[in-house]
Structure formats: structure tokens, C-alpha cells
Amino acid sequence: MKFGVIRFPGSCDEVDALCASQRAGEAVILWHSDRDLQGVDAVIVPGGFSYGDYLRAGAIARFAPVMEEVAEFARAGGIVLGICNGFQVLCEAGLLPGALLPNTSLKFVFRQVDLEVVRTDTRFTRACGDRHRLSIPVKHTTGRFYAPDAQLRKLEADGRVLLRYAPGHNPNGSLRDIAGVCNEAGNVFGLMPHPEHAVDPLTGSTDGLLLFQSIRDQIADRVAV
């Protein structure tokens, strides 16, 4: 299977995302102004500061030519993972619900956090098995997940909150400790923590790899049937 990792001007985590993906399958970089997704099985919108985050984080990147293709790919059921700035881009593009606001502390946070895996039966978390707690780093200034109350209740009721900050680990004031949500169809997922930075024992945790392996397993199943 093949992952495609988008590179925008201002992306900074695309190489880590590429390397992490390569531990689960093949992976290529997709350039923001190309409309060709190169036949990838899954798209990763990585972290960074796409287009300088001018206006609002993710606001300009959503109009990149490649994002039109990503939107089409998502509508057709393709798997899309947005990490940090990628999460912001997908929210701005309307592919994911809610928005990311400045951290309550107004400070940049960079630390390892514990996450609760709310569901292990999804395309993005299935490899977690009985692992219900993951240790993955966050690093952002604009990561406070917000959605209007009615929408929040619906997200919870529909089981679309896949990851939550463990008690005492919410780094940004996200409502209901939400760290990651998926779209209604379950094929687009965004999270603020960085699983691509937690794939090698050298940096303390390999829990992030479980997300990439989940996607690989999902694609493998789909190809097999």
C-alpha cells in the first residue's frame, strides 16, 4: 500500500510523516500545487505552518490545488489523516467538524501527553487492540478544539471522538478533552498530537506507529476483499 504525504510551503513535519508511513508501507510526497495524487491509498495532511498560517491556521492551504483532489478522494471514501496543522486544514476545508482555536494558555505547548483511545474499531485506531492509552507528543499554539454545543453532543453520540486527552493531560483547553475527531463516514480523521513523532524507541514512545499500522491494515483488508 502507498501513503501520500502533502507538502505545502511552510509544512515542517512532512518528512517525519513520510518516515513514519514508511514503517507501515510505501510513501511518497505530494506537492501542494499538483493535482495528481499518484494513486496513493491514503493521504496524510501533515503538521507545520502551511502558507505561513496567514489569516487563520489552515485557511489558505485549503485552497491549494492538491486539496481539491483530496476533497474528491475523501468524498469517494479515501482515507485521509490530518495531523496538527493538517487537522486545522481539514477543518477549514469543511472535511472535518469544528475548529481549532488558540490554546487557553496563549502559549506554545510542546510535551508528551497521554491519550485515551475512545474506540479501537475504526480505520485509524484498529491496530491499538487492547491498548487504550497512548503516549504521543503535542506541539502547537492553536490546538483548542471547539465546536458548538449541539455539534459536540452529536459528535459524541455518533462515536466520532476517537482520541481524548487523558485526565490532567489536556494541553490546550480543548472542549471535552477532544484530541481527535473523524468525519461522519469515518474515513477522514484529524488530531492535534503528532503520531509521526512517536515511532522510534529513540524518542521514548512508538505508540504513534499504531495509527499508521491501522491505516495499513485497513487498506490491506479492503484490497483482500
Partner 1 sequence: MAVHARVLVKPKAGILDPQGQAVQRALPALGFTGVRNVHVGRLIELDVEDPSRLPEMCERLLTNPLIEDYEIVETGSAEDDGSA
CB neighbourhood size of 203 (10 A): 12
Work out how close the CB of 202 gets to partner 1 at its nearest, in angstroms, rounded to a whole number: 35
The residue among 10 and 102 lying less far from partner 1, judged by its C-beta, is 102
CA atoms within 13 A on the CB side of 119: 17
Concerning whether 194 is annotated as a catalytic residue, the answer is: yes
Compute the distance between CA of residue 188 and CA of residue 41 in angstroms, rounded to an integer.
13
Minimal CA–CA distance to 66: which of 94, 96, 38?
38
* 52, 77, 129, 148: which one binds partner 1 (CB under 8 A): 148
184 binding partner 1? (CB under 8 A): no
38 binds partner 1 (CB under 8 A): no
CA pair distance 186, 155, nearest whole angstrom? 12
Q: Residues 84, 91, 128, 182: which is the catalytic one?
A: 84
Number of residues that bind partner 1 (CB under 8 A): 18
Is 84 catalytic? The answer is: yes
Assess 173 for contact with partner 1 (CB under 8 A). Answer: yes
Minimum Å gap between C-beta 54 and partner 1 is: 11
Q: How many CB atoms lie within 10 A of CB 159?
A: 13
Question: Of the candidates 32, 56, 154, 176, which one interacts with partner 1 according to CB under 8 A?
Answer: 56
Does residue 105 touch partner 1 according to CB under 8 A?
A: yes
Shortest CB 56 distance to partner 1, Å: 6
Question: Of 106 and 223, which has the nearer Cβ to partner 1?
Answer: 106
Is residue 101 within the footprint of partner 1 (CB under 8 A)? yes
| Nearest C-alpha neighbor of 118 from the set 157, 173, 171 | 157
Cα angle: 152, vertex 78, 141; to 5 degrees = 45
Q: Which of 15, 28, 29, 99 binds partner 1 (CB under 8 A)?
A: 99
Residue placing its CB nearer to partner 1 in the complex, 38 or 105: 105
109 forms part of the interface with partner 1 (CB under 8 A):
no
Of 104, 128, 98, 103, which is closest to residue 116 (Cα–Cα)? 128
**For residues 138 and 150, what is the distance between their CA atoms, to the nearest angstrom?**
27
The DSSP code for 47 is: -
Would you call 116 a catalytic residue per the annotation?
no
Which residue from 103, 135, 147, 150 is spatially nearest to 203, judged by alpha carbons? 135
Catalytic machinery residues: 84, 194, 196
Which residues make up the interface to partner 1 (CB under 8 A)?
A: 55-56, 59, 63, 92, 98-99, 101-106, 144, 146-148, 173
